[in-house]
Amino acid sequence: MPYPNERPRRLRRTPAMRRLVSETMLEPRQLVLPMFVREGAVEPRPILSMPGVVQHSAETVRKAAVEAVEAGVGGLMLFAVPEHKDAVGTGAAAPDGALNVAIREVVSEVGDATVVMADLCLDEFTDHGHCGLLTPGGTVDNDATLGAYEAMAVAQADAGAHVVAPSGMMDGQVAAVRGALDAAGHHDVAVLAYAAKYASAFYGPFRDAVESSLSGDRRTYQQDPANATEAMREVRLDIEEGADMVMVKPAMSYLDVLARVRDAVDVPVAAYQVSGEYAMVEAAAANGWIDRDHAIMESLTSIRRAGADIVLTYWAVDAARRLSGAGR
């Protein structure tokens, strides 16, 4: 029997010993902060289901971007809340559309100091809340949607985005976006593909954040939570189509998928700790039921341990400050 010769507790005895043998490193540069910008807002508006997160105005998003860069975060992921939505998401590709204006604002403020990413999807811009264009029968029309994504990608790159992140789970979206960027001369704009994106209940608070009311669900395009092998196929296709980085989303309920993806590919892998993951911890902490800071750091470390090189998290600034402060 190994005991009493083997005593794993020897390596846990002091903080210095634990630091020495720690396997997983978490650094501010690995964190990406998602940010919401509300068109026409004069001051930031709180998002009720995401305490601590706001819909920014043009002015406060600049300030918050500077703060994030000062905290050392690796990148920003921009989302917009447009004033007007319609059936085809017209605002998405318009140069003066809410997201494209926000990209310009942020790039002009911090563009040299960080990586500015843009979510590339129609759901914030459509009145029906789906990620694509609808057929007269009401189903999401894959191939018609690709054209809208192409125009949106070029508009985002024209606005100065360093990375565009197609998140609509349309077949062929990465190839379409890559082709459109190249045709427009944007060879150096990278594509972060939301490759394995599940039809998840954990996006709930995000709907508040972008004021999207969805009719129906997204199960004809986002993945079934029961499937992991299918995620490998989605990831393979996206890399073959030209993705520079791939993402698994949500994070915590899909750590097994994340670990498999990390083992299988040779591009950076991101994971998105989504709005519902954030809200659960904040709500429990507000009730005194969980140690907030501990839960945040444990969850981020777990996502890194499972294989994420990059973690998108609404706690990016908070965590970055803690990491560069007194240590863990």
Given the rule CB under 6 A, which residues bind ligand PBG?
119, 121, 123-124, 167, 203, 206, 274-275
Residue 314, annotated as binding a ligand: yes
- Closest distance between ligand PBG and the C-beta of residue 318, in Å? 16
Structure tokens belonging to residue 24: 């997983």
- Closest distance between ligand PBG and the C-beta of residue 22, in Å? 28
Structure tokens belonging to residue 280: 């659960």
Dist CA 79 CA 101 (whole Å): 11
63 is catalytic: no
What is the distance between the terminal CA atoms of the chain, rounded to a whole angstrom? 35
Q: Could you give the dihedral angle defined by the CA atoms of residues 24, 25, 30 and 35, in that order, rounded to the nearest 10 degrees? A: 80
Residue 253, annotated as binding a ligand: no
Residue 230 in contact with residue 224, Cβ under 8 Å?
Answer: yes
Cis-peptide into 4, omega within 30 deg: yes
Residue 198, annotated as binding a ligand: no
What size, in residues, is the chain? 328
- Closest distance between ligand PBG and the C-beta of residue 170, in Å? 12
Query: CB-wise, 105 or 202, nearer to ligand PBG?
Result: 202
Dist CA 320 CA 74 (whole Å): 10
- Closest distance between ligand PBG and the C-beta of residue 204, in Å? 7
- Closest distance between ligand PBG and the C-beta of residue 202, in Å? 6
Active-site residue among 249, 260, 304, 322? 249
Active-site residue among 128, 186, 197, 304? 197
Residue 178, annotated as binding a ligand: no
197 is catalytic: yes
Query: CB-wise, 78 or 110, nearer to ligand PBG?
Result: 78
Query: CB-wise, 142 or 263, nearer to ligand PBG?
Result: 142
Q: For the CA atoms of the chain, what is the radius of gyration?
A: 20
Of 314, 275, 317, nearest to 34 (Cα)?
314
Give the start-end residues of each E strand in the chain: 31-38, 45-46, 54-56, 75-81, 115-120, 163-166, 190-197, 245-249, 269-272, 310-312
Residue 234, annotated as binding a ligand: yes
> 122 — alpha (psi -120 to 50), left (phi > 0) or beta?
alpha
Binding site as annotated, residues for 5-aminolevulinate: 207, 218, 275, 314
Catalytic positions, written as ranges: 197, 249
Binding residues: 207, 218, 234, 275, 314
